[in-house]
Amino acid sequence: MSTAAELVYLLCAVGFILALKGLSGPRTARAGNLVGAAAAVVAVAVPFVDSGVPGGLDHVPLILAAVALGSVVGVVGARRVQMTQMPQMVALFNGVGGGAAALVALLELDHQAALAATAPGSTGWFDVAATVFTVVVGSVSLAGSVVTFAKLQELMTSRPVLFPGLPVVVAVGLIAAVVLAVLCVRDPSVGLGIGLGVLGLALGVLLVLPVGGADVPIVISLLNAFTGLSVAAGGYVLANTTLLVAGTLVGASGTFLTLLMARAMGRSTAHVLFGALRGGSTLGAGEASDRPVRSAGPADVAILLAYAERVIVVPGYGLAVAQAQHTLRELVDVLGARGTRVDYAIHPVAGRMPGHMNVLLAEAQVPYEQLVEMDDINADFRETDVVLVVGANDVVNPAARTTPSAPIYGMPILDVDQARQVVFLKRSMRPGFAGIENDLLHEPTTTLLFGDAKDSLTRLLAALKAL
């Protein structure tokens, strides 16, 4: 490869770093996203100009057809996907990346095996080890991401899936993977590589099956880190600076995000992955409660809001499902015009992925200054007249503080129960994604407004305007 091509790859790597920096803030996120996309397009185009292969690339028509097909699928998927389905899309795209890295590594392993057969000692053991690592970790990421997609898309139960002897099976699988990896490093073989890939797929499935409910988004982040690590190892094997840097960025950021999300849930990553084996994972779908609650109509809630001086809105996944963010923003604007101080309380893991609520509300042109993180707003609930909970549940469940047996015990929550009045907008009495009942619904200071969030907010807005 020419020096010019290597310099272009280096510039693309710098572009990825700048993109990640831009994505760290809402004001620069759009520009960061464009920079990253442009760098990716240029990096893909470089091999067509200077591949470094004598005689140029082979199978160019097939490569172009694959690029065109992937582009069409990506554009159509990105435009049609709903905000509520973003985590599923992230999981699938992440899995595809891990699978691609594993396939490329298998091809490289075949090349290394051929070199080892014709010229023993010509292939360094570390190169083969990096290739084997890419095969295994990429396969784990692919299979695990498919299972997380199925859980979030409700193609399978979101509860932990367990069977007798699961820990033993996982341990045997890990030992077998290590043994095959050592054998493959000593004597490179594409057959052993395929065996490692199959083991990786099995381990990916077994890794995610025991995870349930609200812990699934944390696993998506972890698998994202796995994909980054596999791509970085592949970049080392292929001596490709762009792959190495991009994979390292994804691996590092995914790891930090996993740790931060686990901390926001009040649990360790090990607890997320293996908590179900000792009964500590979030449960997933649960039964609707039949305990009595106090409910009211839109007119009554409108009067409650009209006389409030301080209101905090807690958005959740139900808001995204109903696509009610624009109606909610209009309601907040009306309250603001009446002199009411209104903020949005954002829990780190509200929704199905980090930043889910921030993106949803930004889509409705909600001023970023009104979005207040949990640690900064929790002290305000004691002085709040009304808290309006729209589609959230687990992130305001006091069981996280008061019930040691609850699967979410220890998770930091929004202290909604300390407010003077709480209004819950709920479709039904079914529990949240963690699968447990919320005692806050039965408190004397809590009023429920049943119905679809968008319809309820529309009727509430009309009642408020009529006052």
Considering only CA atoms, which of 261, 251, 254 is closest in space to residue 214?
261
- The owner of tokens 């795209």 is 93
169-212 per-position pLDDT tens digit: 988 999 999 999 999 999 899 999 999 999 999 999 998 888 87
3-state secondary structure the chain: CCHHHHHHHHHHHHHHHHHHHHCCCCCCHHHHHHHHHHHHHHHHHHHHHCCCCCCCCCCHHHHHHHHHHHHHHHHHHHHHCCHHHHHHHHHHHHHHHHHHHHHHHHHHHHHHHHHHHHCCCCCCHHHHHHHHHHHHHHHHHHHHHHHHHHHHCCCCCCCCCCCCCHHHHHHHHHHHHHHHHHHHHHCCCHHHHHHHHHHHHHHHHHHHCCCCHHHHHHHHHHHHHHHHHHHHHHHHHHCCHHHHHHHHHHHHHHHHHHHHHHHHCCCCHHHHHHHHHHCCCCCCCCCCCCCCCCECCHHHHHHHHHCCCEEEEEECHHHHHHCCHHHHHHHHHHHHHCCCEEEEEECCCCCCCCCHHHHHHHHCCCCHHHEEEHHHHHHHHHHCCEEEEECCCHHHCCHHHHCCCCCCCCCCCCCHHHCCEEEEEECCCCCCCCCCCCHHHHCCCEEEEECCHHHHHHHHHHHHHHC
* Res 396 pLDDT > 80: yes
The whole-number pLDDT of residue 335 equals 94
Residue 203 and residue 215: Cα distance in Å, rounded? 18
The whole-number pLDDT of residue 290 equals 61
Q: What is the mean pLDDT of residues 298-318?
A: 92
> To the nearest whole percent, how much of the chain has pLDDT over 70?
90
Structure-model confidence comparison of residues 418 and 355, the more confident one: 418
Considering only CA atoms, which of 241, 250, 249 is closest in space to residue 46?
241
Q: What is the pLDDT confidence band of residue 260, given thresholds at 50, 70 and 90? A: confident
> pTM of the full predicted structure?
0.77
Q: What is the mean pLDDT of residues 262-287?
A: 61
Question: Which CATH superfamily is 298-466 part of?
Answer: TPP-binding domain (3.40.50.1220)
Q: What is the mean pLDDT of residues 5-19?
A: 91
The whole-number pLDDT of residue 286 equals 53
Residue 219 and residue 208: Cα distance in Å, rounded? 7
Q: What is the mean pLDDT of residues 446-466?
A: 92
| Rg of the chain, C-alpha, whole Å | 25
The whole-number pLDDT of residue 448 equals 92
Specify whether the CB–CB gap between 336 and 309 falls below 8 A.
Answer: no
Annotated catalytic residue, options 215, 343, 394, 417: 394
Is 394 an annotated catalytic residue? yes
The whole-number pLDDT of residue 26 equals 72
The whole-number pLDDT of residue 125 equals 86
Q: What is the pLDDT confidence band of residue 431, given thresholds at 50, 70 and 90? A: low
Question: Measured at the alpha carbon of residue 360, what is the angle toward residues 354 and 363, in degrees to the nearest 5?
Answer: 135
- Which phi and psi angles does 293 have, rounded to 5°? -135, 165
Q: Which of 58-62, 91-95, 141-145 has maximum average pLDDT?
A: 141-145
| CA 421, 425, 429, 433 torsion-angle sign | negative
Structure-model confidence comparison of residues 154 and 64, the more confident one: 64
The whole-number pLDDT of residue 433 equals 61
379 burial (CB, 10 Å; 0-12 / 13-18 / 19+) is exposed
The mean of the pLDDT values for the chain is 86
71-130 per-position pLDDT tens digit: 898 888 888 887 667 778 888 888 999 999 999 999 999 988 888 888 776 678 889 999
Residue 21 and residue 339: Cα distance in Å, rounded? 38
What are the boundaries of each domain within the chain?
1-80, 84-285, 298-466
Q: What is the pLDDT confidence band of residue 423, given thresholds at 50, 70 and 90? A: very high
- The owner of tokens 């349930």 is 212
